[in-house]
Structure 1
Amino acid sequence: MLLFFALGLLIHFVFFASIFDIYFTSPLVHGMTPQITPLPPPAKRLVLIVADGLRADTLYELDENGNTRAPFIRNIIMHEGSWGISHTRVPTESRPGHVALIAGFYEDVSAVAKGWKENPVEFDSLFNESKYTWSWGSPDILPMFAKGASGDHVYTYSYNAEREDFGSQDATKLDSWVFDNVKDFFHAARKNQTLFSKVNEEKTVFFLHLLGIDTNGHAHRPSSREYKDNIKKVDDGVKEIVSMFKHFYGNDGKTAFIFTSDHGMTAWGSHGAGHPSETLTPLVTWGAGIKYPQKVSAQQFNDEFLKEWRLENWKRRDVNQADIAPLMASLIGVPFPLNSVGTLPVDYLNNTDLFKAESMLTNALQILEQFKVKMTQKKEATLPFLFTPFKLLSESEQLNILRKARSFMKQKQFAEVVYLCKKLIDCALKGLSYYHTYDRFFLGISVVIGFVGWISYASLLIIKSHSNFIRDVSKPVKKPNHLLASSFVAIGVLVIFFLLIQACPWTYYVYCLLPVPIWYAVLREFQVIQDLVTSLLTFPLSQLVGYLFIFTLGIEVLVLSFFHRYMLTAGLTAFATWPFFTHLWTRAKITSFCWTFFSLLLAVFPLMPVVGRKPDISLVMSAGLLVLLLSLFVVISLIKRKTNLVEEELLVYLLQMLSIVLSMYVVYSTHSSLFKKQGLPLPNQIVSWAILASSFVVPLLSSTALIQRLCSILLSLMATYLLLSTGYEALFPLVLSFLMFFWIHMEQETLQQSGVSCKRQLNSIQFSYNTDIAQFRQLHLDDIRRAFFLVFFLVTAFFGTGNIASINSFDLASVYCFLTVFNPFMMGALMMWKILIPFLLVMCAFEAVQLTTQLSSKSLFLIVLIISDIMALHFFFLVKDYGSWLDIGTSISHYVIVMSMTIFLVFLNGLAQLLTTKKLTLYGKPKSHLV
């Protein structure tokens, strides 16, 4: 069985990894010829200013007094330049946002996990193509473009990462640092002849990355005074920088300015998903080569923003975020970034129609180059008779469009040239997507075949080894025919040969060969399959259909809960009625009433807002007081029992009560300190980390008696959870634990009702690794319900207070008791532990259910595995590569989440066993001294 679980874990890792080869592959190709517009550019230099985390609506809207927060930027919109909305893609994070802005392509989602500072793939960028680039700002953004550049012409000036403190008194100092250092740089350039000559070169870029707005948004939320005041500070700073540039360069009119943002921010101070507040960012451009404001009476946009912003009379020009890279390249006359997929927004250019047409043709040729390289790579790696070219852009069609474009250019029909180039770009981008996803169907089929085979094999193993469904010992077991093994060996050889001649990556061999041994293992059990079919034929049809319907309905409710959290409420409400349909109500009325009450109470949480909630420390304090009352009740019951372990147990519970009190104090004190902008107090930080560390050890000091150990685990985990809570979610683990407690009781009653065994008192049951194997029984149909309950409670633990489809639903403020200085990996780890705590509570309760129902954890775990795998297979079919980027990202996330749950269930099960069964003793002290 150990070998089976090891193989199962390996297989699930392969299925999990397959999604990255199918959907998360990098879109980059190499080997293209650089393309440049053969006309003199309008600007000698470009100033790119990125206000990190700035929402479009917050910049453009007027305040409650009808005044603008950014008078300089608004004056630009009305009198000097062009403006619009830059539409970003998912994930709305800093790294992919800046890659889209500066390199012109949308990085694959997995790149977010590869690091903010490093550059995991080689890509071309505007900075790389420039003569010189000077950049100032965050150490998390600047280095990745410097490391990706060829030569030594991209210079970075970053402040210390510790400045990015969400609990600091004034985050606007991050932006002030940038503005001050830019001024100092140009002051030094006046005295340094070498530097002076460099900054006066053509094709230079100055990049100002302003992180203050993003930091204030995370710390105080975009509706706060701090966030809005930061916008005013940035506006003042931009005004000073523009004035300085004009003065330094003698007002030569050769400087182009771009002001934009990498992503927006939700109302609750996070980003990463596809809400309009995250994907709508401002774009304001002015200076050399930029079109002046255009007054209009009507606009093509139907949203209400224009009226709210009072900008309905100034033409709005929207772009996709990647379109900004070719715009900047055309302004200073450098080659378009090689991997750019942006379309030049010619409507922003103030230049001749010839320049616009030539620039669009350059843009089209640059994207067409990528298409040709991608097609050649795929053609060379595919057998000729299997290769299907992209029909919309054949070689003849390419030549035809280019011939027409050059003909129109000679005839000075520049509008037609622009139209044809846009058509060519559109076809080339579709072709790039076609070849990028060329192997997706083939790989998907391989994974599905392997998935179905694995589920079939696990089901047969349950039926064969852990149930009484098929049991005919008198029947001789037939050995598999050698022909079967030979056939599968031949299939494997054919698959290897097929992949070998196409020079496929080694991962393709894994995905395509894995189904071969899996299905061989399935067909080896043909005797079991035959007996199963025979048994099912004798089963009452109506009963069989009823079981299948309930099982399918349960799976669908679980799947739908990933899209609609209220489905969990429906499921928990149905659970509340369970005692009345199974006659448990007549046997255990109090337990049944408590089960129903807490099921309905837990059902409230999925109906509450998942995001956008404001911190409510009073709810965290209330949760802490309830936990203290619970621990007091446990202590009193221990004293009344007068066992030998009373003194040691009292010490453990007193330690845990102290941890709860300290957690409540730290939460209140930290919230108060941050509200006063005094930062995170060091003693609070030390206590928080100490409580987190002790939560793994203190439960192991308590008795292994079932009820006492579960209470000890709850108290320790709740102390940590309180530190990670900001509102109503602090009550969630408490309600969930009460329901788990009564679940254990209900399962014990159910087992006694079925006559499987005599009821044992829960107080007399001990957690122990050395459980007698002889007490384990075979699986029954009711055990499928127990396994389904576990999966349902795990999903409820996931979705009870958050939307796991995106990390942006988790409030960064929840980690402020531990740290406020920006550290994405540490913050992510803390938030992940917050997610796992309810998981762990459910898994510990499941350990108790297995113990009280005298059921082997391996056999019940197999059913859980099958339910999870059926869900994962369901989500595999729901993965999208079309529609909105939110839909695509969400569909992929769901599959990754379920697969992760299946894999981590093994580790959670081990951790739960450790917490419930392991016992540490305090040596060297007599028990009389322990109190």
Structure 2
Amino acid sequence: MNMLLFFTLGLFVHFVFFVSIFDIYFTSPLVHGMTPQFTPLPPPAKRLVLFVADGLRADALYELDENGNSRAPFLRNIIMYEGSWGISHTRVPTESRPGHVALIAGFYEDVSAVAKGWKENPVEFDSLFNESKYTWSWGSPDILPMFAKGASGDHVYTYSYDAKTEDFGANDATKLDTWVFDNVKDFFDTARNNQSLFSKINEEKIVFFLHLLGIDTNGHAHRPSSRDYKDNIKKVDDGVKEIVSMFKHFYGNDGKTTFIFTSDHGMTDWGFHGAGHPSETLTPLVTWGAGIKYAQKVSAQQFDDAFLKEWRLENWKRQDINQADIAPLMASLIGVPFPLNSVGILPVDYLNNTDLFKAESMFTNAVQILEQFKVKMTQKKEVTLPFLFTPFKLLSDSKQLNILRKARSYIKQGKFDEAVSLCKELIHLALEGLSYYHTYDRFFLGINVVAGFVGWTSYASLLIIKSHSNLTRGLTVKKSSHLLPYGFLAAGLLVALFLLIQACPWTYYVYCLLPVPIWYAVLREFQVVQDLVASLLTFPLSHFVGYLLVFTVGIEVLVLSFFYRYMLTAGLIVFAGWPFLTKLWTQAKITSLSWTVFSLLLAVFPLMPVVGRTPDISLVMGAGLLVLLLSLFAVPSLIKRKGSLAKEELLVHLLQILSTVLSMYVVYSTNSSLLRKQGLPLMNQILSWAVLASSLVVPLLSSPALFQRLFSILLSLMSTYLLLSTGYEALFPLVLSCLMFVWIHMEQETLQQSGISCKKKLASIQFSYTMDITQFRQLYLDDIRRAFFLVFFLVTAFFGTGNIASINSFELASVYCFLTVFSPFMMGALMMWKILIPFVLVMCAFEAVQLTTQLSSKSLFLIVLVISDIMALHFFFLVKDYGSWLDIGTSISHYVIVMSMTIFLVFLNGLAQVLTTKKLRLRGCSMYADILHESISFIVLFTVGTMGLSWSAVLRSALSLELGSHC
């Protein structure tokens, strides 16, 4: 098969397998067509004020400071005397968008919406704001439009500041909160002189939403342990106190206002959020005002955690709820219909009302969720053949009616507690049924994806054996039966007809029909399978079992490393002993010793805490000095060489030294500026982007000689990596690259040991885009080990300094040299490039391994794809939809990572080929090279001087700079 065609098909197949996880696990839970439900009793409140302190952890609000005082005295006074409090448990992803959707709409993140948009509402859903008579909201432009767009009528009004105000490097992020408080006050001052507005804000069923982003911004910039974060909580508490006082004064203290204070998510100690750590999922909830129970003193509580005693709130009743439960609570308080898509359960213990009101509200809640269940069941029943449809047995039509009748009967009889209990039972059954129908096709789709997976892996393996090995050489090849294509064609038509009858989405056709041609291609190679079995029968059984066992253990170590990073350390320690298990130690002692040393050095990184926990800019500067030291070692040899090409090489090398110096200066200067709260200097920002842009171009100007080109790639990418580093991870690509250089030497040694002659010495090998196909050889068993090494090093590149399965293990401070204004996609792209830089270094080294071992990129790459696919299939079976949300999210992340790695291998293999084989020429550079040749020292020192940074300052920053917890 043509190589381009094969990789195109392979890319398509893996893309389908990758997308399948979103159809199986990441489909929208939303349904439409339900009837609005509301409680037929007068509500306790006319208006509701919702404060959301973005990024506020529960412990940060409730705990006392070092002097025994509360950081939020007003809210603590509410807890002790006026209202009810507890913890709101969020779900992953702990981000602002899904958090606010849960709070205001009552359902957890519609994951299908993540790919459609970030700042606006890309899917239709009902919310408290939409059901209200009027809603006024103030705050971030990233959140407010989400609930205004798509709202029926023109009754949701938003007031946002400029997005550029969300600057993590700003002098004072609390201005984001004071802006909100000041604008609310101005709004009510205006209303006194505006009859139309005055009339609106005196209506019933209205909502005021204050989104306070300052705490989140300070948490990202300075971490939750910082004085900035804690002082911001005090500032918010003061602002809330002023707003409450203003509301009481404006409305004449009529007792018809309900106040709710909470947060969308928490934050880790290192200033990030997105995963399921308790510091991210435990958020505060304080409620008071109309319809809310007063503070209740208790002698004992049901919670067994240590928080209550630590917060000194053990004598005030704590009531924990799920974040989505806040939406029905707010709807009940102001008497609007429950949001149609809400899955929240009304926390009746928060209500200060009659038992009749509580029972009626819970009944409304049950009917509202049951409506979703009915619509979901009807939709699934309509697109499923009657004899294949299996209804949710725990909630049949008759059981629904019985529970509703019984609950209504209890309410009429005054048995309100029994009615509430029965409604909760109905809600839990309806939610279970919703999940059942939401995942109805999961098993069917999973079987088809697994069939395609196994088929593709089998076909790739057969292709390796057939085209790149000696196992089937000389064996006869028989033509396949003519009935085979017709049989698979008939099977494909039957599958398509089955899907057509059930009106399945078009993606189902892809998942179900893709295995048909894949398995046809496999069965066409049946003769190869027979020949392989015949060849293996001549192979010693003990050797075969041994190789199979080692391969299986290796795959399992790779899989386990996704859960336990220290497994990479164990693997690298085994790698360190590899030369001593073979004859390599006796043949190449220096190379073997270097391999052992760098393997052990690299093994240290997975044992370190993930990036973000102990930032230390001195380590970044130290890594930069090591890069400069290595660069300067190469300068004398370049100066001694003669000719225009040598001068051009010198110029390129000097540019890379200059780039490293600039990176160190920018890191040092930016860090100092942010510590002084002067923001990101514009010149630093320009230099950072210039270094990033040049990092992929400058290596193309260097010599195509193997080690010179690889060293040039390292220098360029390290300049960018330094700008994206905050601590010890700056050393990681340097150690990894050193091990890669030794790996290339080791592979040539093993090639000689196996009896295969090496036509060229490493020093004379050059990268070339057009390779001589006669140099390529057939595959041997040792090539499987080479492919496994590549996959292991790629996984090490992923998990060596962080847990890529949890994005919160990386910190925003790593992009502050490029931008500090909040931009999720740009910041995410920069962090992704930081993750991919070690990946690129490994792939470039792999290109050199292929070249030095005389292997075609296709053959060795096929083995890598097979290993990756086996891992991906492993993770596909480990994906779960039960247990904690952290477990569910992590299991899906692992599968997505492995599939992404397989797909990215195709692209990054192409990028590595460009970086290693392409050569650009500088025209007319000889004159400049001559000048630089004579005054290289002067130019370097002059450049450093113009930037205001002396070598002594660099050394001081690298050796003695103490920055505490700041980046």
Please indicate, yes or no, whether the TM-score normalized by the shorter chain is above 0.5: yes
Q: Which residue of 1 aligns with 2:603?
A: 603
SS at match of 1:713: helix
SS at match of 1:645: helix
Aligned twin of 2:591: 591
Displacement, 1:118?
Answer: 1.5
Residue 928 of structure 1: CA displacement? Answer: 7.1
In the TM superposition, residue 838 of structure 1 has moved relative to its aligned partner by 0.2
Aligned equivalent of 2:24, options 22, 25, 30: 22
Residue 497 of structure 2 is matched in structure 1 by: 497
- Aligned residue number for residue 262 of structure 2: 260
> 3-state SS of the aligned residue for 1:725?
coil
Aligned residue identity for 1:614 = T
Give the deviation of 1:472 after TM superposition. Answer: 1.2
| Offset, 1:760 | 2.8
CA distance in 2 between counterparts of 1:302 and 1:232 reads 29
How far does residue 734 in structure 1 lie from its aligned partner after superposition? 0.2
Corresponding residue for residue 707 of structure 2: 707
Aligned partner of 1:378 in structure 2 is: 380
Shift, 1:626, TM fit: 0.2
Aligned AA (2:566): Y
SS of the aligned residue for 1:283 comes to strand
Q: Which residue of 2 aligns with 1:690?
A: 690
How big is the shift at 1:582? 1.4
- For residues 306 and 260 of structure 2, the distance between their equivalents in structure 1, rounded to whole angstroms, comes to 25
Which position in structure 2 is the counterpart of 1:297? 299
Quote how far apart the aligned CAs of 1:382 are.
Answer: 0.4
Per-residue displacement from partner, 1:324-382 (whole Å, max 9, x unpaired)?
Answer: 00000000000000000000000000000000000000000000000000000001110
CA contact (8 A) 2:472 2:535 kept: yes
The one of 131, 135, 153 equivalent to 2:137 is: 135
Alignment of 1:492-531 (within 5 A): 492-531=492-531
Secondary structure of 2:114's aligned partner: helix
Q: 2:150 aligned with 1:148, yes or no?
A: yes
Match of 1:624 in 2: 624
Match of 1:848 in 2: 848
Distance 2:689 2:871 in 1: 37
User: What is the alpha-carbon distance in structure 1 between the residues aligned to residue 532 and residue 668 of structure 2?
Assistant: 61
Q: Give the structure 1 partner of residue 768 of structure 2.
A: 768
Matched, 1:316 2:318: yes
Contact 2:568 2:606 (C-alpha < 8 Å) held by counterparts: yes
Following the alignment from structure 2 to structure 1, what is the Cα–Cα distance between the partners of residues 759 and 231?
A: 66
Tell me the secondary structure at the aligned position of residue 284 of structure 2: strand
SS of corresponding position for 1:603: helix
Number of the residue aligned with 2:864: 864
Question: In the superposition, relative to structure 1, how do residues 470 and 636 fare at CA in structure 2: closer, same or farther (>3 Å)?
Answer: same
Partner residue in 2 for 1:463: 465
Query: 1:753 aligns to what?
Result: 753
Alignment partner of 1:120 out of 106, 119, 122? 122
Question: 1:441 and 1:27 mapped to 2: Cα distance?
Answer: 17
User: 2:400 aligns to what?
Assistant: 398
Asked if 1:888 is matched to 2:869, the reply is: no
Q: CA deviation at 1:929?
A: 4.7
TM value normalised by structure 1: 0.99
Match of 2:365 in 1: 363
* Equivalent-residue separation in structure 2 for 1:347 and 1:802 (angstroms): 42
Give the C-alpha shift of residue 638 in structure 1. Answer: 2.8
Equivalent-residue separation in structure 1 for 2:213 and 2:762 (angstroms): 56
Q: CA deviation at 1:108?
A: 2.9
The CA distance in 1 between the partners of 2:794 and 2:113, in whole Å, is 29
- Distance in 1, matches of 2:789 and 2:611, equals 26
Instruction: Name 2:233's counterpart in structure 1.
Output: 231
2:955 aligned residue: none
How far the C-alpha of 1:634 sits from its partner, in A, is 1.8
What residue in structure 2 maps to residue 793 of structure 1?
A: 793
Q: 2:301, 2:318 within 8 Å by CA — same for their partners in 1?
A: yes
Deviations 1:42-61 (A, max 9, x none): 00000000000000000000
Taking the aligned partners of 1:110 and 1:653, their CA distance within structure 2 comes to 48
- Alpha-carbon distance in structure 1 between the residues aligned to 2:493 and 2:707: 56
Q: Does the aligned pair in 2 maintain the 1:748–1:759 contact within 8 Å? A: no
* SS of residue matched to 1:114: coil
TM-superposed CA distance for 1:113, in Å, is: 4.0
How far residue 117 of structure 1 moved from its aligned partner, in angstroms, is 1.4
Q: 1:159 aligns with which of 161, 164, 169?
A: 161
Q: Partner residue of 2:417?
A: 415
- Identify the residue that residue 874 of structure 1 maps to in structure 2: 874
Would you say 1:731 and 2:731 are equivalent positions?
Answer: yes
State the 1:639 CA deviation.
3.4
Whole-angstrom CA distance in 2 between matches of 1:611 and 1:720 = 17
Which residue identity is paired with 2:148? A
Output one character per residue of 1:642-699: Cα deviation in whole Å (capped at 9) or x when no partner.
5663211111111100111111111011001000100001110000000001101111
Q: What residue is the counterpart of 2:70 in the other structure?
A: 68
Aligned counterparts, 1:193-232, within 5 A: 193-232=195-234
Match of 2:630, as an amino acid? L
Shift of 1:763: 1.6
Q: Distance in 2 between matches of 1:691 and 1:335?
A: 56
Distance 1:841 1:37 in 2: 63
Tell me, what secondary structure is at the counterpart of 2:660? Answer: helix
Deviation at 1:640, TM superposition (A): 4.6
Name the structure 2 match of 1:246.
Answer: 248
Distance 1:240 1:894 in 2: 47
Q: Is the 8 A contact 2:102 2:108 kept in 1?
A: yes
Cα deviations across residues 821-867 of structure 1 (Å, max 9, x unaligned)?
A: 00001100100000010000000000000010011001000000000
Q: CA RMSD in A?
A: 0.9
Q: Aligned equivalents of 2:109 and 2:379: distance in 1?
A: 20
* Structure 1 unaligned spans of 5+: none
Q: In the aligned structure 2, how far is the partner of 1:415 from the partner of 1:643?
A: 94
Equivalent residues in 2 for 1:42-57, closer than 5 Å: 42-57=44-59
1:917 aligns with 2:917: yes
Deviation at 1:759, TM superposition (A): 6.0
CA distance 1:895–1:571, shift in 2 (3 Å): same
| 1:301-327 Cα deviation digits (max 9, x unpaired) | 000000000000000000000000000
Equivalent residue for 2:639? 639
> In the aligned structure 2, how far is the partner of 1:758 from the partner of 1:373?
70
Deviates more, 1:166-175 or 1:750-759: 750-759
Corresponding residue number in structure 1 for 2:90? 88
Asked if structure 1 preserves the Cα contact closer than 8 Å seen for 2:45 and 2:257, the reply is yes
Task: Quote the offset at 1:758 in angstroms.
Answer: 2.8
The residue that corresponds to 1:441 in the other structure is 443
Q: Distance in 2 between matches of 1:589 and 1:927?
A: 44
What secondary structure does 2:340 align onto? coil
Which secondary structure state, in structure 2, belongs to the residue aligned with residue 135 of structure 1? strand
Q: Secondary structure at the match of 1:600?
A: helix
* Preserved CA contact (<8 Å) 2:274 2:808: yes
Compute the displacement of 1:249 (Å): 0.3
CA deviations 1:766-799 (Å, max 9, x no partner) are 0001111110001110000000000000000000
SS class of match (1:156): strand
- Indicate if the aligned counterparts of 1:37 and 1:358 stay in contact, CA closer than 8 A: yes
> What displacement does 1:419 show?
0.1
Contact 2:612 2:810 in 1 (8 A): no
Shifted more, 3-12 versus 611-620: the winner is 611-620
Counterpart-to-counterpart distance in 2, 1:53 and 1:926: 57
TM-score when normalising by structure 2: 0.95
Rounded to whole Å, the distance in 2 between the matches of 1:113 and 1:813 is 25
| Matched residue, 1:274 | 276
Shift of residue 410 of structure 1?
1.0
Q: Does the 8 Å CA contact 1:647/1:927 hold for their aligned counterparts?
A: no
Instruction: State the match for 1:570 in structure 2.
Output: 570
> In 2, distance between residues paired with 1:790 and 1:637?
32
Decide whether the 8 Å contact of 1:95 with 1:112 is kept in 2. no
What is the identity, as a one-letter code, of the residue corresponding to 1:60? Y
CA contact (8 A) 2:30 2:110 kept: no
1:96–1:112 contact (8 Å) kept in structure 2 = no
Q: How far 1:434 moved relative to its partner? A: 0.3
Query: Deviations along 1:564-620, whole A, 9 cap, x unmatched?
Result: 000000000000011011110000000000000000000000000014523201000
Contact 2:805 2:894 in 1 (8 A): yes
Number of aligned residue pairs: 929
- 1: CA distance between counterparts of 2:128 and 2:613? 40
Task: Kindly indicate whether the alpha-carbon contact (under 8 Å) linking 1:466 and 1:778 is maintained by their aligned counterparts in 2.
Answer: yes
Per the alignment, residue 190 of structure 1 pairs with 192
Question: Paired residue for 1:486?
Answer: 486
**1:591 aligned counterpart, secondary structure:** helix
